[in-house]
Chains A and B, each alone.
Chain A
């Protein structure tokens, strides 16, 4: 039962093959058994079972929706009323929000059951989950490998089937990169599609929540529940939300898939490249047309991002000052020392690094050269995509330049770590929807992720293209050994 997708579980619940309480207990048990993965920071079984009972009662009353009673895990960046929200940080180790994030509210309203909160890089800053105060998440395919990050806990949980589905957030690749490294499906929606209210901010102009699932169909189902305008988030877009499952089965004949030459150039691991090439062949068989496109400013994405994201973060994280909530140093002489000690103790080194980079970039005398210049680059990068989409409908490439690396391998080399997001970052800068879908394995048995990039608010077509591939392949059905 635990191997089933959300769509299949929904059918099983509807057919009364299993109750939500049983299903919830099943996943709670699995979370307990596979504690060593360190995928969860907080699990609240009692609360989950209460929700499951309520869901079963709803079903008994004939009021069940498509997601009623399905368990899920939330990345520990979404505020949940009554369950601690740590954001992977010592700073918020004991923080319990007095309110629910809009995404949490919507998912609760859909009748889903929250199993717990998943591990993540501290304040979503990292690509390996090693910056978490609660320790790294292990990759279910090989415990020596990183899960990717920052939504590493959600990716590992879904890959190991500790939860059928999970939420994640993506600022520069934090849904897609761990999805690729753990062999699952992840979707970062267009900026503005999903409310950011109650989602702890890293870089406000780039952050976006999205589903992390086994299949594209599940991603469509979960996105249906997550998406929509929120009057509490001024950057959410007031546009009608389509039924993302409606277009899933459309034929790919005539669909133009753009292949950006910059994504297949130097730096791409040969085995990853080979897996992507095979996927391209599959798409051709499905009737899609391949088009060569160019994103000439891709090379500027990483430096641009590492000015803008830290700049915003340096300001967003100022509220963690030890005054109202969060960690406060035990001893201090005066106000300044209270700030300095609380923040020095509460934040890990990667967070501090980014706060310092961001503060520097915004400082008088440097603002024009860094922040303003990066904003100009951002526009150029976005224009690259606009031009590319003149000749294609969807863009295809690898999600990451290589498969999962070993824990500890890159943790002392921030630049090498930053480069693992080289193909994902520009999508955030342009505000576009992007997905990672499983596309095979390298010779060491590590999953390869295929990235699909859609047009602004074009999630439905993106999901259609991903779903068609999953109908013709079974990579997304493979499970890591030891979790079957």
Chain B
């Protein structure tokens, strides 16, 4: 089964998003920050979709996305940002890092689950 990596320093968000995706048939792994996210992605080739916060300690989500495309040379995993940030500057940086999409919190699973499934199974 395709794996989704949920990266957020908030346990509330990891629980909320992770539980919702599991209930909808997706396999979920979680990471607490960008550095942890990179480690999880390196360790699990089944991860097809990363859903990540931006503002996190140790390594932020946009830096993690840049490293996924750069250091890890992984151009196939789909990356979605789930964040409170909503500025054009942030989004432009995300686009340059090759992320697929942007969601401003709070998370509304029903609005995105169909697309998440497509991206996770692509």
Please indicate whether A and B come from the same complex rather than being unrelated chains.
no
